[in-house]
Every structure is written in structure tokens, then in C-alpha cells.
Structure 1
Amino acid sequence: MKQLLLSLWRFRHFMLSSIKAEFRGRFARSKLGALWMILNPLAQATIFAIVLSEVLAAKLPHVESKSAYAIYLMAGTAAWGLFAEIVNRCTTVFIDYSNTLKKIAFPRLCLPLIIGGSALLNHLLLLLAILVVFLFFGHPPNVAWLVLPLGMLLIVLFAFGLGIILGLLNVFSRDVGQVFTIVLQLWFWLTPVVYTVESLPERFAFIHRINPMSSLVKIYQDALLLGRLPQWENLVFPLIAAVGLFGFSFWIFRRASADLVDAL
């Protein structure tokens, strides 16, 4: 483990330059450039806000604000989007970069870390766009926003650990990626992003309790909508799941990395 971490540290400049290159490559020959990183999520957030608040008049129970449901949905979507982007891209990263892995000698774990860094950058720009919409609604940030880095960290650890494991399995069996695409869609609807936990029938309440993403998404929803810090006892299970999966992914990667290139 120590050697692996040291090798990653030696290639830190390679990973940072790769993240920058991927960021710039998205907007090559675009006059607005990186501004699109804000305009696209801003447009999406604005559409959510207008349609849900003004057209559908969707409301949350026990919250009087007309824009509460739009804020709730944007917060949950932001948290879920960070998780889904990392997991989806990590699942295919070794296959997508198979030629690079065969030709260039570098720590293979750099690739998922580059994806994680890129996804985190996208996420921060999305939060900036959401902030603009919130200000438009008269819903300024508050001290509870300071807990968002904790939510980001736990989501990244959990997504990275799961993504690495799926990425390795996908190399040896390409069905894994196809199956998980369906699983991820189902997982989204089992997570309270578009509905509240209180709206779940009691017989389905256990799904919320065993789903780590429920508590992680709730960090965002509580902070962005209610200005409320999380209930720390509810984060014990997600913390164990995130750190445990992250550590396990390193272990299984070391076991499988010797056969990775041959399988590609």
C-alpha cells in the first residue's frame, strides 16, 4: 500500500495536467470556453426552478417556501450527479484507456483519480451555478454550506471505491458495465432525490436505512434547503461504507493489477 501511494504521489503532476487537459479539451474551439461549465448546469437548474416552482407548484411538506421543492431537487441531483459520474466513468476507464495502459508505464490507479478530480471540478462549478439560482430565489448560502466538503469527501470515497471494483470486474467480464447501468438507474429511484423520505411507505423504509447514498444526499438537502447540519449518528454507516469500500478497492486493485493489461 505504501509503495502504491508513493508511486501515485510521484505522478501527481501527470494527474493534475491530465485533469487540466481534459477540462480544456471539452471546450476546444469554443469562444465561451469554460463558461459553458457554468451555463449548462445553470440552465438546467433554472429549468428545474421554473417548471417545479412556477408551473407545477410542487411543494415540500412542512416547508412554506414556494421554491423549496426546486431547491430540494437541485441539491439531491447535485449530490447524486457527483456519485454517478465517478462510478460510471470508473467502470469503463480501464477499457477506454486500454491502448494507453499497454504503451505507457505509469501507475494504473492514476486513471480513476484523474476521473475523480475531473468530476469534482465539474461538481464545484455546478454548485456555483446552483448558488446563482438560489440567490435569484432569495435563498442565500448559510453556515451549513460549510458541511458540503464533508459530503463531497464521503461521496467521492464511496464512488471511487465502488467504481474501481466495478472497473476491474468489467475488464474481465464486460457484462458488469451493462448490468450496473441498469442497477444505477434503479438505485437512483431508491434514493430520496425526487421524493422525500417521509413519503415512503413504512414497508419500504428499510431501503432508506441500508442505502448509504440516502444519508449522503441528505447532507446536501439539509444544508442547501434547510440550513441544517446533518445528524452525525446518521453518518456512521455511510462513513464506514465509504472508507471501507475505498480501502477494499485499493486491496483488490493490487491483487488484480498484474493481470489487468493481459485481460485488456
Structure 2
Amino acid sequence: MTISTYTSLARHRASPGAMLGQGWRNRDLIFSLIRRDIASKYRGSVLGMVWALLNPLLMLAIYTFVFSQVFKMRWGGASNPSEFALMLFAGMLVFSFFSETVTRAPGLITGTPNLVKKIVFPLDIQGYVVIGSALFQSAISLIVLIGAHIIMKGLPPATALLIPVVFAPLSLMCLGLVWILSALGVYLRDIGQIVGHLVMMTMFLSPLFYPESAVPERFRFFIDINPLAMLIAQSRRVLILGDWPQWNILGWFTLAAFAFASFGYWLFQRTRKGFADVL
């Protein structure tokens, strides 16, 4: 595991090029930290990495039972509860990724004060580590979803291969949020509590447990301004419905997400010089 030379000049670079360059130059370190982060989640447990598979399986089973059997909910006009389970889990892939990355962000720097004082350690790459760890769990959840689809409906549509084009802008958006929240979390310790409530609110304001068509017209504005709603819809299109993603929407969203990630990186770099004094 090697750490690239991190000069005082590099510490203050905050351009989009610097953001990409830091990720590329430290890719070996990032992958090593991702592996360590994933292993640390299950270290000491009896089942170990098996929990990475069991967690999404249990989530799928619980949500399916509660919403389709207890509440008797159906997706649109579908009468088969399996349709609800698959549509719900396809949306949860997006939301779970968002939730995991955002809830970890406020304590990302405060939880590793020893790294803040290491001049040669590129603190900003911890954002990439959080995203990479969440992508691993999303990949496991995707395998569970594909297995459930095969059991319930047969082979998933070929468009399921396009799910990376949905997760690319999602990853960029969450990367920007991780940098912003991790920087703010150093100076405002209440950020962690606030983020927890906002994530819970976002879950119910996102079309996870209901289709967008079920939202009354006068409240549709809250769905339209929610970026997760669009990504959840695209996830269901490619994974369950067998439709092509809406390329124009995804294209513009990706550009906006990249700009947002660049802003998050800029803010992180501009505020990091005070981290050591606060911690």
C-alpha cells in the first residue's frame, strides 16, 4: 500500500481535474482501504462476509411480507405480490446506497483524527472509499434481486445490464454529499443527527413503497425535485420493466452530479486546513 507524495500545493488544489487526479493517483490505496473497510464491517462475527448476502435477503423478505401480505399493497394494477417485491427492492438498491454513504459522511473525518494529523495522507480519498464500499454492498444486493427475479418471474430483462449507467450519476451525487457533510461534520457535530432525520424523511418522500402515479397531483412537486425519485424510476425501468433508460435525463443528471461532486471536493479542500485545529 503506497501513498502518493502529497505536497502543500496539492493539498489546496480543488479543481475537477484535481478531484479526478487524486482518485487516479491513489487508486491502489483506495482499493486497499475499500477492502479493509468491507472486512471491518463483518470482522468478529460468526458468519463474517455471509452477512453481506444475508442482510439484503432479510430486507427483501421483511419488506415483501409487511407491505404485500400485511398491508396488501400492490404495484399499480398488478395483482401479483411478487411484482411489488421486485419493484420495491429495485428502488431500495438506489436508496440504500444513498443512505449508507450519507449517514457515514458526518463522522468520516472526526472518526479518524489520527489521519488528519498525517501530512502525507490524502484525506479526500476517504470519500472514494465510502462510495466504493457502498458499491460493493449494492452489487451483492443486485445479485439478490436477480436471484429473486429468476425465482418469481424468470430471467431479468437484458436492460438490467445497463444498471451501471444509473449508479454512475448516483455515485457522483453521493460523493459530493460525502465531501460536504464530512467537512461540515468537523465543525458542526449536530450534522450527524440532522442527516439521520433527513434520510428518514427522504425515504418516505421518495417513491419507494408506492409508484409515482399514486402521488396526488398537488404533491407531485416534492417528487419532481427529489433527485432520488428519478434514479429510482430509472433503476426500475432497466431492472424490472425491461425499458431503456431515459438517456437525455440521465445525461443531464450526470453532468449536474459531476458539477456537484466538484463543488463538494472544492468545499472539502477549502475547509480541511482547519480540521487539525478543531480535532
Q: Same fold (TM over 0.5)?
A: yes
Structure 2: how far apart are the matches of 1:15 and 1:237? 28
Runs of 4+ in structure 1 deviating by more than 6 angstroms, as ranges, are none
Instruction: Name the stretch that deviates more: 120-129 or 134-143.
Output: 134-143
User: How far does residue 129 in structure 1 lie from its aligned partner after superposition?
Assistant: 1.4
What residue is the counterpart of 1:158 in the other structure? Answer: 173
Residue 93 of structure 2: which of 59, 74, 78 is its match?
78
2:28 aligns with: 13
Q: Give, in angstroms, the shift of residue 16 of structure 1.
A: 1.1
Which sits farther off after the overlay, 223-232 or 243-252? Answer: 223-232
2:241 matched residue in structure 1: 226
5+ residue gaps, structure 2, are: 1-14
Q: Displacement, 1:225?
A: 2.3
Q: Map of 1:109-148 to 2, 5 A cutoff?
A: 109-148=124-163
Residues of 2 paired with 1:132 and 1:94: CA distance? 37
Q: Counterparts of 1:160 and 1:132 in 2: how far apart (Å)?
A: 29
Matching residue of 1:49: 64
Bigger shift: 58-67 or 174-183? 58-67
Displacement, 1:25? 2.7
- 2:142 maps to amino acid: L
Given that residues 180 and 267 in structure 2 are in contact (C-alpha distance below 8 angstroms), is that contact kept between their aligned partners in structure 1? yes
Q: Which amino acid aligns with 2:204?
A: W
- Between the aligned partners of 1:91 and 1:50, the Cα distance in structure 2 is 33
Cα deviation digits, residues 198-237 of structure 1 (max 9, x gap):
1111111111111111101111122222111223344355
Answer yes or no: is 1:102 the counterpart of 2:117.
Answer: yes
Q: 1:241 to 1:188 in 2, by over 3 A?
A: farther
Residue 242 of structure 1 aligns with which residue?
257
Q: CA 1:181–1:27 in 2, change beyond 3 Å: closer, same or farther?
A: closer
Q: Residue deviations 1:19-49, cap 9 Å, x none? A: 1122223333556432221122123213333
Unaligned runs of 5+ in 1: none
How many Å apart are 1:102 and its aligned residue? 1.9
Cα pair distance change 1:235/1:12, threshold 3 Å: closer
1:177 matched to 2:192: yes
Distance 1:135 1:48 in 2: 18
Q: Aligned letter for 2:103?
A: N
186, 190, 195: which one pairs with 2:210?
Answer: 195
The answer for the alignment partner of 2:9 in structure 1 is: none
How many residues of Structure 1 are paired with residues of Structure 2 in the alignment?
Answer: 264
* TM-aligned CA distance change 1:120 to 1:138, over 3 Å: same
Q: Percent identity?
A: 30
Give, in whole Å, the separation in 2 of the partners of 1:205 and 1:253: 34
Q: CA RMSD in A?
A: 2.1
